[in-house]
Amino acid sequence: MIDVIQWAASLFAIVAASLIAAHISQKVTGIAFVIFTVSSVMWVYFGAVENDHGLLVQNAVLTAINLLGIYRYLIRSKPA
């Protein structure tokens, strides 16, 4: 099961990075940050199970950054 989480986290990160790089729209970028958040949470879990503290801390911080991206692109009201 841990292999599935590892590969899913990698795939989600690739998809999210591709969507952000494509810069299709603000909404798509926001959705990409949601996907990145799921990936980061999976990496945090993987790091905890594998006792990899560097990976865990890195992705805990990335989760916070991704949540900021979600706020910026999906939640915050657009300027008038």
Sequence ranges of the domains in the chain: 2-75
User: Considering all CA atoms of the chain, what is the largest pairwise distance in Å, rounded to the nearest integer?
Assistant: 48
Question: What is residue 75's DSSP assignment?
Answer: I
* The pLDDT of residue 79: 60
pLDDT at 47 > cutoff 70: yes
Decide if pLDDT at 41 tops 80.
yes
Indicate whether 80 pLDDT > 70: no
Q: Are 16 and 33 in contact (CB under 8 A)?
A: yes
Which tens digits make up the pLDDT trace of 17-34? 999 999 999 999 999 999
